[in-house]
Structure 1
Amino acid sequence: MSSPATPFEIARDTLKQLAQRRIAPTPDNYQTLYHEIAGTKPSGTDFPERQLRSLAAALPKSSPDQLRLARQLDEAVKAANWEAYQNHLTGFINGLAETQKLAWGELIGDLMRQWQARHPGLTPARKRDSLEHVLAGSASNSDNLFSRLQGLLRAWGQGSENEGNLAVDTEETAKTDSPEPTVAASEPQLLNEIRELFAFTLETAIASQLADSPQLAEDARTLAADVRRARRVDETQAFLARLKRFAFKLELLAEDQQELRKSLLGLMRLLVENITELITDDRWLQGQIEVVREIIDKPLSQRSIDDAERRLKEVLFKQSQLKASLLDAREAIKQMLAGFVDHLADFAGATSDYHDKIEGFAAKISSADDVSQLESVLAEVMRETRNIQINALRSHDELRQTEQKVKEAEARIHELEHELARTSILVRHDQLTGALNRHGLEDMFDKEIARARRHETVLCVALLDIDNFKKLNDSLGHDAGDQALIHLANTCRTTLRPQDTVARYGGEEFVILLPETHIEDATMVLTRLQRELTKNFFLHDNEKVLITFSAGVTQMTEQDNPTSVIKRADEAMYKAKQTGKNRVVSQ
């Protein structure tokens, strides 16, 4: 049914919908249904993007909180989210209201009284210098200014010059009264170590992660130098202010990178979804496209990307070999056809010569006076006829041979094309279960061992074997056994973590790699997998068949290699078989 195109048709359909849905025919209901049918929005509900952007642009941006508010408002406008815009703005205003609740009047009154009071060792000039110092260091942060002024008043009350000396004097008094002078004496050293550790963190852990943002990396190194030089309270306060601005920049950078990552993944997803429209035959690309689609649909990890890279390299190498053979087969057909055409041309030329000679023999026969003259002419006719007959038979045989070669070449081409398509699909590794095969397991084993040693983490290995698999094959048939293997592999994939590796080790045996998992946790993982396999029945001819497995779990050590750790897991699995099957034994 075509959509209504004219206002009359839209109005007619609106009245019908009011009657069919039994909605009260009020102006608001009519307007809502009218715009729903027309596919438009009421003019009064348009998002005021221009006005909200103007409002956000007029707000001050002198502090990190104000900059954060501006960014939040901009994102809300982009998403046309009025509720988020309202929440961010009201939250910021409420924060300002909390700040204004500070007892500034009482604080200023105390400041005036302390200014006029006499304090031993403090002159009005020293008081003025200390007050100017506090105002210069915290003028942009009202909360910090309030707390520092309170500290300054307490310091004046105890005869100190600035608010930082109060803490120092208190500590010195505690050190004097303390019976352990060695601990007090070590505090400056501890402070220096903490300062150096902070600087080291800025220079290495943070700056090294900002290779794509050289300005932020330079800021991190500058902050490291500042914290090393900071000795007085004012220098520390100034450093903290710069550190807050730097942290805010890091937050913005993280948000930008997250947005960039989303955009790149969206672009990749769009390319994958539309790649079939850009090529005429995508049979050879089905496996590769499926790998890329799996990566962009799941959370990104270095492990999944490494695995996909290895799988793609393997299938691309196989396909390149098969494609070269395919091109050779097609070239052979071209050469055979070209040779056959040349032979046909030679045969046609010989036939033309034969016709010319026959015409000459006919003229000789016509001009002959007696029968004796015809003997030599007839001999030549027979000889030429025999030659053309021999050429015709040879051409027939060559035609048959060429036809047979062409058929063989075409069959080889079809075989290679099928192998190319099958190789692309077999990027899933094991043809039956879709799990890794032995070769894929060896590659993943090497990667996981290297990753565990590099990050100093643990790696557990499990070997599981389906219980009574031979009995299942004998009673239900090999097709049922294959489907049981597929069912087990699918249950493993849905139950285990994305970073875990499942490989078919041979027959009904599977190996599972569990990175960053201690042996106790690995045993629990295999036990949970047994429960899931018990809950998810295997169906054969619409009948439930219970499948269980016995498993051995072990944890790799520094001296282990893939062969030794699998052997130990196999021994544990054998113990599980001996103790009643459907068990998990760790070793």
Structure 2
Amino acid sequence: MSPQNPTDIARAALYQLTEDGLPPTPENYGKYYRKVSGEEAPQEQVDQNTCGPLLTMIRDMLGEASERTGTLASDLQSHNKTIKSSIDDLSQAQEKKRMLQLLGTILTTTTSIHSSVEDAHLDLAATKMALEHIKNELQESRHLMQEDWLTGAQNRRAMDMVLTKEVARAQRSATKLTVAMLDLDYFKRINDEFGHDAGDKLLQHLTLITKAVLREADSLIRYGGEEFLIILPETDINGAQFVMDRLKQAFQKTPLAYDGKPIPVTFSAGLARLTSDENGHALVMRADAALYEAKHAGRNCVKIAAD
């Protein structure tokens, strides 16, 4: 038997989505919701707005829940009138037979109220669980979409949001904000000598070491290839330089061991402090320019961008 209401359809769609092991994106939610409900949407509509099907599913679920509560309110009002009328008649009844009839009406009406409330409670509880499931899955999906698949650092998509937020916060509260653009030295040589698997392991190793050094408020972003951006809120140039020194020490003490051989690694970095009249993009470009200065200066060093 196929689901009849939006909540049942949503739950069935969620179950099938999980069974098929597909990522919980809005597009997949909408696709499976239509599949279970038997509704087909034009392909161009799906392509234009992947969130549309999911919003339709949530709207239908909430509409069904609203209708259920509205019906419940109407039923309760009607039942209350019946009970009140029966109680009024009962107070005036003289015959035993009539009293039993009225008590039977009151009992039947009370049972109907209990049944209506219980059914509505179960339906609303199911709707709540389905919506919470969608919320949790979308949060996880959003997290995965903002994470670099290889290293676990944040990706460029996340960078735009984090940088915009931190720049706005720093300018609003007149606090310091510094970014560091970091690039592994001679990474191509490592790939050529040890293989690309070693290169991947080295990027993962760099991410783990860097995260261990950074604070919780800091952000590590894989900017591209072996290049990483570090966002340091409430940090001036001296504080950022201290972080770079700690990273250098951490890399020296814990080189990556690959096939039983340590792979020593150094990095070059460029630092830039946010000025009052620039945006996040300009800040990153200045840090990137300082990074290239560090590479031209012989690598394994840190350069500071002029304000």
Which TM-score band applies after superposition, normalised by the shorter structure?
Answer: 0.5 to 0.7
Equivalent-residue separation in structure 2 for 1:456 and 1:485 (angstroms): 35
For 1:299-314, what aligned pairs fall within 5 Å after superposition?
none
Equivalent-residue separation in structure 1 for 2:222 and 2:180 (angstroms): 12
The answer to whether the aligner puts 1:478 opposite 2:196 as a matched pair is: yes
Equivalent-residue separation in structure 2 for 1:498 and 1:569 (angstroms): 22
Instruction: Measure how far apart 1:327 and its partner are.
Output: 3.6
Equivalent-residue separation in structure 2 for 1:282 and 1:322 (angstroms): 8
Does structure 1 retain, via aligned residues, the 8 Å contact 2:179–2:232? Answer: yes
For 1:288-303, what aligned pairs fall within 5 Å after superposition?
none
Runs of 4+ off more than 4 Å: 279-284, 329-333, 422-425
Equivalent-residue separation in structure 2 for 1:547 and 1:575 (angstroms): 19
Q: String of CA shifts for 1:43-64, please: whole Å, max 9, x gaps.
A: xxxxxxxxxxxxxxxxxxxxxx
Residue of structure 2 equivalent to 1:513? 231
Instruction: Measure how far apart 1:542 and its partner are.
Output: 2.3
Residue of structure 2 equivalent to 1:324? 30
Instruction: Measure how far apart 1:532 and its partner are.
Output: 0.7
The answer to whether the aligner puts 1:523 opposite 2:280 as a matched pair is: no
The answer to whether the aligner puts 1:445 opposite 2:151 as a matched pair is: no
Residue of structure 1 equivalent to 2:219? 501
Instruction: Measure how far apart 1:428 and its partner are.
Output: 6.0
Instruction: Measure how far apart 1:553 and its partner are.
Output: 0.5
Equivalent-residue separation in structure 1 for 2:204 and 2:222 (angstroms): 10
Number of equivalences = 192
Instruction: Measure how far apart 1:473 and its partner are.
Output: 1.2
Stretches of structure 2 lacking an aligned partner (at least 5 in a row): 1-13, 40-137
After superposition, the Cα gap between the structure-2 partners of 1:531 and 1:281, relative to the gap in structure 1 and judged at 3 Å, is farther
Residue of structure 2 equivalent to 1:155? none
Q: Which structure carries more strand by proportion?
A: 2
Q: String of CA shifts for 1:453-502, please: whole Å, max 9, x gaps.
A: 12210100110101111111122221211111111111111111111111
After superposition, the Cα gap between the structure-2 partners of 1:541 and 1:282, relative to the gap in structure 1 and judged at 3 Å, is farther
**Secondary structure at 1:322's aligned position in 2?**
helix
Q: String of CA shifts for 1:109-152, please: whole Å, max 9, x gaps.
A: xxxxxxxxxxxxxxxxxxxxxxxxxxxxxxxxxxxxxxxxxxxx
**Secondary structure at 1:502's aligned position in 2?**
strand
Equivalent-residue separation in structure 2 for 1:526 and 1:499 (angstroms): 16
Does structure 2 retain, via aligned residues, the 8 Å contact 1:433–1:485? Answer: yes
Equivalent-residue separation in structure 2 for 1:521 and 1:331 (angstroms): 57
Instruction: Measure how far apart 1:423 and its partner are.
Output: 4.5
Instruction: Measure how far apart 1:566 and its partner are.
Output: 1.3
Does structure 2 retain, via aligned residues, the 8 Å contact 1:527–1:584? Answer: no
Does structure 1 retain, via aligned residues, the 8 Å contact 2:272–2:286? Answer: yes
2:266 to 548, 563, 577: 548
1:557 to 260, 272, 275: 275
**Secondary structure at 2:25's aligned position in 1?**
helix
Equivalent-residue separation in structure 1 for 2:36 and 2:199 (angstroms): 41
TM-score (structure 1 length as normaliser): 0.30
**Secondary structure at 1:442's aligned position in 2?**
helix
Instruction: Measure how far apart 1:282 and its partner are.
Output: 11
Equivalent-residue separation in structure 1 for 2:220 and 2:142 (angstroms): 20
Residue of structure 2 equivalent to 1:201? none
Q: Which one-letter code corresponds to 2:181 in the other structure?
A: L
**Secondary structure at 2:178's aligned position in 1?**
strand
Residue of structure 1 equivalent to 2:174? 456
After superposition, the Cα gap between the structure-2 partners of 1:526 and 1:281, relative to the gap in structure 1 and judged at 3 Å, is farther
Residue of structure 2 equivalent to 1:539? 257
Does structure 2 retain, via aligned residues, the 8 Å contact 1:428–1:434? Answer: no
Does structure 2 retain, via aligned residues, the 8 Å contact 1:551–1:584? Answer: yes
Equivalent-residue separation in structure 1 for 2:202 and 2:164 (angstroms): 29
Equivalent-residue separation in structure 2 for 1:495 and 1:283 (angstroms): 37
Q: Which one-letter code corresponds to 1:457 in the other structure?
A: T
For 1:88-127, what aligned pairs fall within 5 Å after superposition?
none
Equivalent-residue separation in structure 2 for 1:458 and 1:332 (angstroms): 56
**Secondary structure at 1:430's aligned position in 2?**
coil
Equivalent-residue separation in structure 1 for 2:273 and 2:188 (angstroms): 30
Instruction: Measure how far apart 1:320 and its partner are.
Output: 2.3
For 1:75-474, what aligned pairs fall within 5 Å after superposition?
319-329=25-35, 423=141, 426=144, 429-474=147-192
Instruction: Measure how far apart 1:328 and its partner are.
Output: 3.8
Q: Which one-letter code corresponds to 1:323 in the other structure?
A: Y
Greater relative contact order structure (CA < 8 Å, 6+ sep): 2
Does structure 1 retain, via aligned residues, the 8 Å contact 2:16–2:32? Answer: no
**Secondary structure at 1:575's aligned position in 2?**
helix
Stretches of structure 1 lacking an aligned partner (at least 5 in a row): 1-278, 287-314, 334-419
Q: Which one-letter code corresponds to 1:466 in the other structure?
A: L
Q: String of CA shifts for 1:324-353, please: whole Å, max 9, x gaps.
A: 2234455679xxxxxxxxxxxxxxxxxxxx
Equivalent-residue separation in structure 2 for 1:282 and 1:328 (angstroms): 12
Q: Which one-letter code corresponds to 1:453 in the other structure?
A: Q
Q: String of CA shifts for 1:16-67, please: whole Å, max 9, x gaps.
A: xxxxxxxxxxxxxxxxxxxxxxxxxxxxxxxxxxxxxxxxxxxxxxxxxxxx
Equivalent-residue separation in structure 1 for 2:151 and 2:266 (angstroms): 17
After superposition, the Cα gap between the structure-2 partners of 1:474 and 1:423, relative to the gap in structure 1 and judged at 3 Å, is farther
Q: Which one-letter code corresponds to 2:27 in the other structure?
A: Q
1:583 to 292, 301, 304: 301
What is the root-mean-square deviation in Å for CA atoms of aligned residues? 3.0
TM-score (structure 2 length as normaliser): 0.57
For 1:7-86, what aligned pairs fall within 5 Å after superposition?
none
Equivalent-residue separation in structure 1 for 2:189 and 2:288 (angstroms): 21
The answer to whether the aligner puts 1:573 opposite 2:291 as a matched pair is: yes
